[in-house]
Amino acid sequence: MKSPIISLQSAGVLGSNRDAVRQHNLSIILQMIHFYGTVTRSQLTSATGLNRSTISDLVSELEQLGFAHETEGAATSGVGRPSLVVTASTKVVAFAVHPEIDATTVGLVSLSGKVLKTVRVVMGQNPTAADSVKTAAKAIAELRDGLQSDQRIAGIGVAIPGQVRVSDNVVRFAPQLGWIEQPFGSMLSQATGLPVFVDNDASIGCMAERNFGAARGLLDAVYLFAGSGGIGGGAIVNGSQLRGASGYGGEFGHVRIGGAADVDYSGLSGTLESLVRRDDLLQVFKMYSATDQELDQEIRSTKSKEAIKILRKQVASLGAGISTYVNIFNPEAIILAGFLSSLFNFDPEGLIESMKAGTLKAAQERVVIRNGELGEETLMVGSAELAFHGLLENPSDAQLVPVKKAR
């Protein structure tokens, strides 16, 4: 049931006039090119239902706009004249920024969703928002210098471990970084002259897995992500990302699932984040800090009874949390990322059992628990999606910035 909201005050956007049709068709085709990187023209015709000649016209418009190329590809599959292959232009890129407690990562991503470069700048402890903006802007400037002069930039996407007001790109509260009410978006936009789009890291991860990863094409999915800063999540409902009225939706780490003993990063008790703690695992393994890979290795190989006990407890808690989200969303899949994947790998049956114990029979029938597929590239790919979004929605009016500033 996807009825659009009908409001008598909505000034002229509900009706489809002819321009809107053209825009929609261009958008759909560019999105297919974007999500799949490479599509044949015959695939475009059958998927959209539009006429061959219309597709021809639309693709050549996208080519003229500089978003796609057509080549006589080798995608020969069966009899008949081979279809032309359409690929995303390499001339359109976006930057991705991910501030963390000890480093800021900056990436360069192409319109085909490929991560071209990644720069990780290690910083002193507890960087302020200004520090992070400065570091990111410098890295972006360097990457920008390395671009060809005919390339164009869609913008910068930023993944923040914390709550973000999406409407004006303000970081409301990022407990791990210690940031409160930081207008990160406008700061970085000022420093770079590029449009900036900020969002919560877990929401971005969810979007990345939906567009390019383990949740690709799903209409209903839940994503749970755990980094060093706690647990976040995202959900796809009816094919669209859960955002909420102000963009704070999907705070799955802060939902109460159990007793009230432990307290999470935000001062709430009995939450998923307080029961499934990365730090507790590091402690039992006597590690001070570790990458997800190192931690995963330890989890896979441990024989320590104490560690196993803690792991089992965390698996049970994670299962209880998942059951909550299964009851609420009735998703097709639960996607796990960060060290939650390691917990799943450690005891998949245990996790599934614990999930099933808390879910209604009907809802648990179809659901699948799965690990994310994008790994370290998740946030780079997802952040870039924020920057590409406007372009994908309305290709003919897209505002791209040239590599070299006009003098």
Partner DNA sequence: TCTACTTGTTGGCTAAAACAACAAATTGGT
Partner DNA sequence: ACCAATTTGTTGTTTTAGCCAACAAGTAGA
State the nearest-atom distance from the C-beta of 64 to DNA, in Å: 13
Which member of 37, 66, 82, 178 binds DNA (CB under 7 A)? 82
Give 57 or 142: the residue with its C-beta nearer to DNA: 57
Point out which span in 15-23, 89-97, 283-291, 334-342 binds its own copies (CB under 8 A).
Answer: 15-23
Partner whose binding site includes residue 363, from its own copies, DNA, none (CB under 5 to 8 Å by kind): its own copies
Partner whose binding site includes residue 193, from its own copies, DNA, none (CB under 5 to 8 Å by kind): none
Q: Which of residues 203-242 bind its own copies (CB under 8 A)?
A: 207, 211, 217-220, 237-242
Partner whose binding site includes residue 308, from DNA, its own copies, none (CB under 5 to 8 Å by kind): none
**CA triplet 17, 19, 22: central angle to 5 degrees?**
115
Partner whose binding site includes residue 31, from its own copies, DNA, none (CB under 5 to 8 Å by kind): its own copies
**Residue 247 binding its own copies, by CB under 8 A:** yes
**Residue 252 binding its own copies, by CB under 8 A:** yes
At residue 276, what is the residue type?
A: V
**Residue 19 binding DNA, by CB under 7 A:** yes
Specify whether the CB–CB gap between 399 and 154 falls below 8 A.
no
Q: Which of residues 140-159 bind its own copies (CB under 8 A)?
A: none
Partner whose binding site includes residue 76, from its own copies, DNA, none (CB under 5 to 8 Å by kind): DNA
Q: Which of residues 37-56 bind DNA (CB under 7 A)?
A: 40-42, 45, 49-56
**Residue 84 binding DNA, by CB under 7 A:** yes
**Residue 8 binding DNA, by CB under 7 A:** no
State the nearest-atom distance from the C-beta of 301 to its own copies, in Å: 33
Which member of 85, 114, 147, 248 binds its own copies (CB under 8 A)? 248
State the nearest-atom distance from the C-beta of 28 to DNA, in Å: 10
Q: Which of residues 268-287 bind its own copies (CB under 8 A)?
A: 268
**Residue 53 binding its own copies, by CB under 8 A:** no
Binding site for DNA (CB under 7 A): 15-19, 21-22, 25, 40-42, 45, 49-58, 76, 78-84
